[in-house]
Structure 1
């Protein structure tokens, strides 16, 4: 019997090098992950850094269906980041690529390696806008509907590119 498939939402972003090309390549790499199918990806968005420095970010969100356990999915995303030269010199440092498990089905996980839903996604227009582009009725487990959350953070400029 095959393991059940889970819908997982992946946040994608970067602001070093050719961030647009990197985000587009990352989406293609998500589609190539084992035991994973890319269902949808948002448009690309340009945003100013939030709680960080450096150039503007290019961001997107992807929806995948996967039979990978949540931590295995996280490790696969971290491998893609490393292939793109991701370094972690300090918290919120500029980056070539950042891939985050935003939501993993209805799961609520809080351990040393992974927290889902992603704890800051509800405060980030660069997550909520592309998420709502893919699913206008998105619901964040333990939080509720995503639309009012985006409506509450209009101070974060975001532009579809």
Structure 2
């Protein structure tokens, strides 16, 4: 199945953390790297005022893992990079969100797929459109079409930063 993962960081060495997350996510069987989007610097959305800007990217993968196992891996990688969940949409060293896993639709306390806010977040859709121009959010439509109605001014390309394929 195709999996789309969103990575974000606004604490510490943001780029080094994103690259470390890519390396860690693909360091075990069941997840194969396909492509990473360009890196974007983005204004914080929601959460407390005064946060630093985020670095965001999308990673496209192929997976044989069930969505819940993939979620557990993502959360383990977040924890390895010091993620603290003290404030909703607050600053964080690393955020790894499952956006889409195949055509899976799931809505429970632990996992909601597709990600419930992805279709309205420019910091997800802009990089996704670059990594996978034909990408789509199940039940919501094509990424390119969803982007048409969004303000993308707070999403700035960082051409000097490129995530590398994991070793």
Q: Taking structure 2 as the reference length, what is the TM-score of the superposition?
A: 0.90
Aligned counterpart, 1:114: 111
Structure 1 residue runs of 5 or longer lacking an equivalent are 1-5
Deviation at 1:95, TM superposition (A): 0.3
> For the residues of structure 1 that align with 2:152 and 2:40, how far apart are their CA atoms?
16
SS at match of 2:33: strand
> For the residues of structure 1 that align with 2:39 and 2:26, how far apart are their CA atoms?
17
Q: Which has the higher contact order (CA 8 A, sep 6+)?
A: 2
Runs of 4+ in 1 over 2 A off after TM superposition: none
Choose which of 12, 33, 43 in structure 1 pairs with 2:28: 33
Choose which of 7, 18, 40 in structure 2 pairs with 1:23: 18
Choose which of 39, 45, 58 in structure 2 pairs with 1:61: 58
Provide the aligned length of Structure 1 versus Structure 2: 156
Choose which of 149, 154, 166 in structure 2 pairs with 1:152: 149
CA RMSD of aligned residues (A): 1.1
Q: Are the equivalent residues in 1 in contact too, given 2:30–2:64 (CA < 8 A)?
A: yes
